[in-house]
Chain A
Amino acid sequence: MNNALGDEQRDALQELMNISMGQAANSLARLIEAKITLSIPKISSVTPSEFVAMLSSEGMWHTRQSFLGSVKGEVVSLQSRLGCEAIAELMEYQLPLSDTTREELLLELSNILAGACLSGFAEQLALTAKLSMPTVFDPEKLSPDHYRWANTLSMEVEFKIESSQFDSKIVICLEEDSISTLLNRLNSLLE
């Protein structure tokens, strides 16, 4: 899989993710009037067990959304538990968070960040990807057997707010069958 992604394609993918996460960060930054620090996107080839391992970080809340269209896959967002109250306050939620309002917050953040990341990405590649509603889930209950692919591409980005414990990771995981579609589009951008 790694070999299938050449240097130029990796560069392009990374830059497309940079642009998409820039758009996502901008929507959140305007909402909360704070500056958001962006990571360099990590692009890797993963097996289902590696993907599950990637998600099972402690101290995080998880949401997931699947997407369908000319590319298919899943977007998972991880929000640091410690940073939840800080972001909730900036987003004018009533504190302390109850289970219900926390879930509402997680789903809203997931929509803002994951939604913008995916739509920016798809738009630049002229691909369609329609996102389902996000749901909160527990990665402990996730089994690698759930996935129908053997090896796929994951793209991971991280958003932070300095001076607060807010930390949010978005992982976009493409289905194996969608990789060739993605590579074709990347190549036409690079021509």
Chain B
Amino acid sequence: MPIPVTIADDSMMSRKAVRRALPADWDIEITEATNGKQALAAVEAGKAEVLFLDLTMPELDGFGVLRYLHEHHAKTIVIVISADIQPEAKKLVDSLGAFRFLHKPLNPEQLSQVLFDVGLI
């Protein structure tokens, strides 16, 4: 059965960049979200076993999404992909239980390594 994966980013180019970086032979079903609320809706609907999450988004930002998931002990594996790469952002993301913090522009090899580390591929 394909793994449900959600890509949450308000930029279409960045959602595309994530799609492109995913291993071609990985059996997944992709949902796209353009803000934090949509990302949480995807989690609630069981469409996000893995969530690729941007931090700066309208409505609800990535920190808000992480906080909600953290408080609700969600089992979603969150991989943050962010343009804001300041130490402060990384610290907060780590404390909210994200699995990894990747920098934009996304490096496809780095992403594959992360998926391998978590045992997804």
Binding site for B on A (CB under 8 A): 8, 11-12, 14-16, 18-19, 21-23, 25-26, 29-30, 35-36, 38, 40, 124, 189-190
Contact = CB atoms under 8 A, between A and B. Distances in A.
B13 A25 contact: no
Given A11-B11, A18-B83, A38-B56, 17 more contacts: A8-B13, A11-B12, A11-B13, A12-B12, A14-B11, A15-B13, A19-B83, A22-B82, A22-B85, A22-B86, A22-B103, A23-B85, A25-B84, A26-B86, A29-B87, A29-B88, A189-B13
A19 B104 contact: yes
Main secondary structure of the interface of A (DSSP, over half): helix
Given A11-B11, A124-B105, A190-B13, A18 B88 contact: no
Contacts of A8: 12-13
Contact of A19 (B12, B16, B105): B105
> Can you list the 8 inter-chain pairs with the closest CB atoms, starting with the nearest?
A22-B83, A15-B11, A35-B88, A12-B13, A18-B83, A29-B86, A19-B83, A19-B104
A27 to B, nearest CB: 10
A38 B83 CA distance: 10
A21 B103 CA distance: 13
B14 interface: yes
Interface residues of B, number: 16
Contacts of B103: 22
B87 to A, nearest CB: 7
A95 to B, nearest CB: 25
Nearest to A25: B86
Interface in B74-104: 82-88, 103-104
A36 B12 CA distance: 25
B49 to A, nearest CB: 26
Max count, chain B CB within 10 A of own CB: residue among A22, A30, A38, A40:
A22
